A and B are shown apart, each in its own frame.
Chain A
Amino acid sequence: MDLKNLESLSFFYPEIILSGTILLLIVVDLLVRSQRTLATIAVIGCVGSLLATFDLYSAQQGWLFHRMIVLDNFSLFFKVFALVAAILTVWMSLGSNEIRQVHQGEYYTLLLTCALGIFFMASSSNLLTAYLSLELVSLTSYVLTGFLPHNRRSSEAALKYLIYGGVASGTMIYGMSWIFGMTGSLDYAAIQSALAQQQVSKVTLFMAFIFILAGFGYKMVFVPFHMWSPDVYEGAPTPFTAFLSVASNAAGAAIMIRFFFPGVSRMVAGGDWAFVSGVEWPQVLLFVSMITMTVGNLCALNQRNLKRMLAYSGIAHAGYMLMGLAVLNNDGLQAVLFYVVVYLIMNLGAFLVVVMIANATGNEEIESYRGLAWRGAVLPAACLAVFLFSLTGLPPFAGFIGKFLLFAVVINQGGTFVILAVVAILNSVISLYYYAKIVKTMFLDTPDPGDKSLTIAANNFTLLIPLTALTIVLGVYFSPLVYYTSQSLRFFMK
């Protein structure tokens, strides 16, 4: 299916509904300045878009808008993901004191625009749309990061993010221009067939891929493109940090999978992908993966601020996900998709607790978590313990299954990948240290006499309990999610 502009519109309902919601939010914001109304509209819009997305599962797959974007199960998976993340974030924002200080209308507008950008990142089948969608996500993220008024950290983070993002996407578009020069096309399918037929210089191609990786890597947050993340995590309003931590990661993975797998690789029998011959791509990813998880975990060890620690742990998790990409097969991709979902649940959960505690204490320093369980916050503390143990990868939590699947594909690959598996295990041990330290701080340390008893607003529990339950349930019974992710690995290719 290869549709022209107008025909494409009937397969474009999720995006249309979401864009309509964004416009509606701007108008409503002028009339009523109530957070509750705006959030309700945002959630309703997202749910509508979600329903439309599910409806598209039965539609025929194919290219839309003159092969600019592609409609297949893979892009639908990330649309659902972005919408769920957006809904949860809006919900979380409702209960956050930080968000009450900012301009509500703009906040929700930009948040949904960011989600819309992720839609396009996952479904782009042309370097042009890939670049534009990445910029759409980046630009909204810059603004949202600096959204706290009169907060130096927030402004500083936004500026750093802007400069870093500008350099990274500049590098990426430079690499894209090399690809265009070598193949004469921006269209993924055309690039693939050109690379298969023509003799292109492998070194040049390799360099072009590395440049492009800079842009994707900055979204997915892996070393050495990670420097922005700790400052941004710390400075941005916490609900948006939560969204960024999962959505940026997932969107980076999505655009990377889209470009490097159906984009330039060929699918061969048995779910394996053959990369452009002559380019040692798995070794690059393997190396980057090892470095990323090690740097992330080592830097996380000595953090005093919980948001900053979660930023470094997020880098480490990007490293784990890269393991699934490095093996170049469908099992690996499935493990990544599974991990992305699990990471969404446990990381958003952890940030939700951060929001709840920050509402009560006014900061995110780990010190302020001392003896939390004995200061009237047993339930949030217990839930945070569940999320942190899940992030470590301890059974019976969902994080264990996610890591288990990643380890499984790496071990199955054998050879040098066994080294990667051992490094990853060592990293899990390192990560246990700093995650368990927080659990210890909350449960085993005695509160100082000066530490006040906390009153936790009950409204956040409506989100916290389901997330905790999901973390446990997915650790015990994960068949449905395995099925869903395996179904989501259907790419539309010529």
Chain B
Amino acid sequence: MEHVLTYMTFIPVAGMVVVLLLPSKGPNLIRWVSAAFTVPPLLMACWLLANFDPAKPGLQFVERAPWIPAYNIQYLVGVDGLSISMVLLTALLCFLCIFASWGIDKGVKGYFALFLLLDAGMMGVFVALDFSSFCLLGSDAPSHVLSHWHLGRATTGVCRHQVFLYTLFGSGLMLLAILALYFTSEPHTFDMTVLMSQANKFGTQTLPIWPFNQWGWGFQHVVWMALFIGFAIKIPAFPFHTWLPDAHVEAPTAVSVILAGILLKMGTYGILRINFPMLPVATADLAFWFLGALGAWNIIYGALCAMAQKDLKKLVAYSSVSHMGYVMLGMASFTTQGINGAVLQMFNHGTITGMLFLLVGVIYDRAHHRDIDGFGGLAAIMPIYTGVTALAFFASMGLPGLSGFISEVLVLLGSWQKFPVLAIIGASGVILTAGYLLWTIQRVYLGPLNEKYKSLPEINGREMFTLVPLGAIVILVGVYPNVVLDLLRASLDQINQIVLPHLHG
């Protein structure tokens, strides 16, 4: 199992090739084969979890091989506490989403082939440590195409491309920033571990024709901002969030799950992986405004937008904007609780939002619309479905005993120590969240039954199969959060220690 990370990344690629070679006449065969190719990564992720040593802060399972010697590019993969949680999440959600995609009946072969490619691309982002930021961009193309996998739907013109153009712009800026780091490092390298060790060198660089050098705002801050814009588009942080609701409305259920569950995490993951350790001075200078204050604003803004939605899926999409705000707020506090809470929130958001989108998909498959006011009293005919939904909603609003509570409390505890005002704003977001979620429960599941939906069938076995593992994780982490927190602690402390000395006051 020496090359476990390589296998995890490339088995889905092999799966894509196999799927492409299958005859397109048998959609069921394609579905089962795709599912089969997501099982080994999941098993390997479990093996990884069992063999990962949480006490060690550094990288583990490292594989290194020269790739393009002329530019000092190498093949370098590895995981630490930060990435292993994301790797687990990716392996799990990709496996479940294959089953959530069972209902795709047009262009089955292309859909599943692209899905496996997307799986590999996401895994690549979280394990690669050299040249890896470019995988970010690579994983955009399949996700973009997949999110429009509804043949024969009316096109909405420019907005269909919006997310793709947005992320390419962000990735382009990131590319420039990474090139700037590459040429500043000595010897030139893309190796993140080496770049981290040269943080001091980046701190002392100045820029030509740049008026703010004298204030100590030089090279480092410009590169930080370029990277931040790239990541903020992914998160999505206000004001770069506009693509998110549109993308979700267009996308099939499984793609929504992947989009919210994993792709959004790339933004915050990238900030922790690149901005924090490589540009600590700029991080210390800019974190309050661009992560802390913007995060708190995200919480409130996302929650208010969610409250105003009429479309169930858009509501969940805006709740993502709100919940990713907690991640940013926690990161900005530079306290152990805050930063651990932030990464735990990334993990929890992945599972909880995954559940929410799957649940929205269940009702959409039956009623063919997602209008919140168009239902009513569903609890009477779909009790099991309503129960699972209640679990997910309560987890999302942070009910004690469920996973969302732990991470939000940690974030608020952490940020209270540094900026109480932002913590209060963030905490009030919990009330708004409870507001829109309870209101939704009332409108959709309680009250008199809408006669139109008297004969809706109850949630079926396949749908339960995709929801149960996520629900179990939500409860497990809520009761015993150390299963995840133990993995994170050592690595996050190490990242935090790099930035702390540069903080003022």
Q: How far is the CB of B12 from chain A (nearest CB, A)?
A: 14
- Cβ contact within 8 Å between B145 and A443: yes
User: Knowing A429-B169, A432-B168 touch, does A394 contact B141 (C-beta < 8 A)?
Assistant: yes
Which of chain B's residues have a CB closer than 8 A to the CB of A153? none
Q: Give the number of residues in B that approach A within 8 Å (Cβ atoms).
A: 36
Q: Is the interface of B mostly helix, strand, loop or mixed?
A: helix
B161 an interface residue at 8 Å Cβ cutoff? yes
Whether A482 sits at the interface, judged by CB under 8 Å, is yes
Whether A395 touches B179, Cβ cut-off 8 Å, given contacts A415-B208, A425-B172, A432-B164, is no
Nearest A residue (CB) for B155: A445
From B132-140, B297-305, B403-411, B432-440, the one touching the partner chain is B132-140
Instruction: Please tell me if B50 contacts chain A, counting CB pairs below 8 Å.
Output: no
Residues 425 to 458 of chain A near chain B (Cβ within 8 Å): 425-426, 428-429, 432-433, 436-437, 439-440, 443-446
Tell me if B418 is interfacial: C-beta within 8 Å of chain A. no
Contacts of A116 in B (CB 8 A): none
Residues of A within 8 A of B141 (CB): 389, 394
The answer to whether B172 touches A428, judged by C-beta atoms less than 8 angstroms apart, is yes
Question: Beyond A394-B141, A396-B138, is A407–B179 a contact (Cβ under 8 Å)?
Answer: yes
Number of A-B residue pairs having CB atoms within 8 Å of each other in the complex: 86
Output the least CB separation between B453 and chain A (Å). 30
B138 and A395 contact, CB distance less than 8 A: yes
Compute how far the CA of A396 lies from the CA of B131 in the bound complex, rounded to whole angstroms.
Answer: 12
Is there contact, CB below 8 Å, between A411 and B165? no
Give A334 to B491 CA distance when docked, in angstroms: 41
Q: Is the CB of A478 within 8 A of B134?
A: no
User: Closest chain B residue to A478 by CB distance?
Assistant: B68
Q: Which of A85-138 contact B (CB under 8 A)?
A: none
Q: Given contacts A407-B175, A407-B176, A478-B68, are A444 and B169 in contact (CB under 8 A)?
A: no
Is B70 interfacial (CB 8 A cutoff)? yes
Are A421 and B183 in contact (CB-based, < 8 A)? no
Q: Are B176 and A421 in contact (CB under 8 A)?
A: yes
Interface centre among B148, B151, B155, B182 (most CB of A within 10 A): B151
153-198 of chain B: CB within 8 A of chain A: 155, 160-161, 164-165, 168-169, 172-173, 175-176, 179-180, 182-183
Of all chain A residues, which has the CB nearest B148?
A444
Pair A425/B183 contact, Cβ less than 8 Å: no
Question: Interface residue tally of chain A, by bracket?
Answer: 35 or more
- Mask, A396-418, CB within 8 Å of B = 1, is 10001000100110011011101
Across the interface, name the chain A residue whose C-beta is closest to B66.
A479
Q: Mark A371-399, 1 if CB is under 8 A from B, else 0.
A: 00110000000000000010010111000
| Residues in chain A near residue B176, CB distance under 8 A | 407, 411, 418, 421-422, 425
Closest residue of B by beta carbon distance from A424: B172
Q: Is B209 part of the binding interface, using a Cβ–Cβ cutoff of 8 Å?
A: yes
**Contact of B152 with A by CB under 8 A:** yes
Report the nearest A residue to B182, measured CB to CB.
Answer: A408
Nearest chain-A residue to B109 (Cβ)? A378
B69 part of interface (Cβ distance < 8 Å): yes
Verify A479–B68 contact, CB threshold 8 A.
yes
**Contact across chains for B183 and A426 when beta carbons are under 8 A apart:** no
A404 to B179, CA, bound (A): 9
Q: Is the CB of A425 within 8 A of B134?
A: no
Q: How far is the CB of B50 from chain A (nearest CB, A)?
A: 32
In the complex, which residues of chain B have a beta carbon less than 8 angstroms from the beta carbon of A444?
Answer: 145, 148-149, 151, 155
B residues near A477, Cβ cutoff 8 Å: 67-68
Bound-complex Cα distance A415 to B219 (A): 12
Interface residues of A in 175-232 (CB under 8 A from B): none
User: Which A residues are in CB contact (< 8 Å) with B173?
Assistant: 422, 425
Q: How far is the CA of A486 from the CA of B149 in the complex (A)?
A: 43
Across-interface contacts of B165 in A (CB, < 8 A): 429, 432-433
Q: Specify which chain A residues have a CB less than 8 angstroms from the CB of B135 in the assembled complex.
A: 395
The answer to whether A483 and B70 touch (CB under 8 A), given A408-B179, A414-B208, is yes
Select the residue from B107, B145, B172, B208 with max chain A CB neighbours within 10 A. Answer: B172
Chain A residue numbers with a CB within 8 Å of B179 are 407-408, 411-412
* Given known contacts A374-B151, A415-B209, A437 and B172 CB-to-CB distance under 8 angstroms: no
Instruction: Please name 9 pairs of A and B residues whose Cβ atoms are closer than 8 Å in the assembled complex, sorted by A.
Output: A389-B141, A392-B168, A394-B140, A411-B180, A412-B179, A425-B172, A440-B160, A443-B110, A443-B145
In the complex, the 5 A-B pairs of residues with the closest C-beta atoms, listed nearest first: A425-B172, A411-B179, A446-B152, A395-B138, A429-B169
